[in-house]
């Protein structure tokens, strides 16, 4: 069995172990593969039956041109880079890893919110530059600090990560409301399920937790931003394409959105001319919410289990 890993560096820059995959067959490992070079993608796939990817496009042409391909394993959750219909037509099984990073991403979502409201990084930098030492007072703050107690958090999407974020928000004495495209059952009396319209209108903080689909693409745009409270805080640790970056930047610069904190961008790596890079009060991190070592180790373990199940004639975490 021939196995090819086309872009393994993001998952394993050297602190994880590929040996369990090597035990399953003949393996070729590539740290990176050019995403826009189909010839090179196909050359590297070659006669492989198993391909493991993170962000390498596997469109209908690539799938049809890899005659021995039987299995595509996504080293992550999102599978929008794969033509699922083409894979199904070709009899290629596609799996992903859906639940490995719940706690890490929820933690990071709140880290972004706390940075926006408490400005820890900014004040640490100013202290080290000597501003406190030279201050005439025992204290100073460069930006207004915001208490979360009593604020309303509006979650768009209510999967596992959003549910964990809701628990963290409740611990901070926030009111928590959420919208989900289909009704969710829950036992907590401090949670309220509402319409998308109500989340937009009521929330002091809006946090995005949905997949990027044709229906959700650019769901945050001029028309939806206009429905939000003045001075809303926007968080996105889901997918960059959920935001229209031009409209979001305009709302930041006008003050309609007080601050945005995002771990994802429409194009990744982020385009040098992205309007978010120059927008007021926009906090951007390079898609790292998923990346603690323990979290990545869990991801790799589940990806290996997915592959073992396939090789045993069973399917686990397959995309239909």
Cis geometry, peptide bond prior to residue 269 (ω within 30 degrees of 0): yes
210 touches 156 (CB < 8 A): yes
Write down the catalytic residue from 188, 223, 268, 314: 268
Q: What's the pLDDT score for residue 320?
A: 83
Q: Which domains does the chain have, with CATH numbers?
A: 2-100+293-311 (3.40.50.720), 102-284 (3.40.50.720)
Report the pLDDT averaged over residues 241-269.
97
Whether residue 12 is predicted with pLDDT greater than 90 in this model: the reply is yes
Name the pTM for this structure: 0.93
Helix extents (H) in 28-146: 38-45, 60-64, 84-89, 102-118, 120-128
Q: What's the pLDDT score for residue 78?
A: 87
- What angle in degrees, to the nearest 10, is found between the helix axes of 120-128 and 102-118? 60
Query: What is the total residue count of the chain?
Result: 320
- Residues 110-125 pLDDT 10s: 999 999 999 999 999 9
Query: HSE of 259 in the Cβ direction (CA atoms, 13 Å)?
Result: 18
Q: What's the pLDDT score for residue 247?
A: 98
- Residues 32-76 pLDDT 10s: 999 999 999 999 999 999 999 999 999 999 999 999 999 999 999
Write down the catalytic residue from 239, 296, 305, 315: 239
Q: What's the pLDDT score for residue 220?
A: 98
CB atoms within 10 A of CB 8: 22
Report the pLDDT averaged over residues 216-238.
98
Structure tokens at 201: 């209108």
**Residue 268 among the catalytic residues:** yes
Write down the catalytic residue from 287, 296, 298, 309: 287
Report the pLDDT averaged over residues 186-196.
96
Report the pLDDT averaged over residues 198-220.
96
Query: HSE of 52 in the Cβ direction (CA atoms, 13 Å)?
Result: 33
């Amino acid at each position: 069995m021939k196995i090819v890993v086309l872009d393994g560096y993001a998952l394993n820059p050297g602190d994880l172990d590929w040996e369990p995959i090597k035990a399953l067959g003949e393996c070729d490992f590539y740290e990176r593969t050019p995403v826009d070079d189909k010839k090179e993608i196909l050359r590297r796939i070659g006669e492989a039956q198993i391909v493991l990817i993170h962000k390498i496009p596997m469109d209908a042409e690539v799938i049809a041109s890899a005659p021995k391909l039987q299995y595509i394993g996504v080293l992550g959750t999102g599978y929008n880079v794969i033509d699922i219909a083409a894979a199904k037509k070709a009899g290629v099984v596609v799996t992903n890893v859906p639940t490995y990073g719940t706690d890490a991403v929820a933690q990071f979502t709140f880290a972004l919110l706390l940075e926006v409201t408490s400005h820890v990084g900014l004040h640490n930098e100013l202290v080290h530059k000597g501003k406190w030492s030279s201050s005439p007072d025992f204290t100073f703050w460069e930006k207004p600090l915001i208490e979360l107690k009593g604020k309303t958090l509006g979650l768009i999407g209510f999967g596992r990560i959003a549910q964990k974020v809701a628990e963290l928000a409740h611990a901070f004495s926030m009111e928590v409301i959420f919208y989900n495209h289909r009704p969710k059952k829950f036992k907590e009396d401090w949670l309220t399920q509402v319409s998308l319209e109500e989340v937009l209108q009521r929330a002091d903080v809006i946090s995005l937790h949905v997949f990027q689909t044709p229906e959700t693409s650019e769901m945050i745009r001029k028309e939806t931003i206009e429905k939000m409270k003045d001075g809303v805080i926007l968080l996105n640790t889901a997918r960059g394409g959920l935001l229209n970056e031009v409209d979001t930047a305009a709302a930041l610069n006008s003050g309609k959105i007080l601050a945005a904190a995002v771990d994802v961008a429409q194009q990744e790596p982020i385009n040098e001319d992205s309007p978010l890079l120059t927008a007021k009060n926009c906090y951007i991190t390079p898609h790292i919410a998923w990346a603690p070592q323990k979290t990545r180790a869990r991801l790799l373990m589940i990806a290996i289990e997915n592959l073992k199940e396939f090789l045993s004639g069973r399917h686990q975490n397959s995309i239909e």
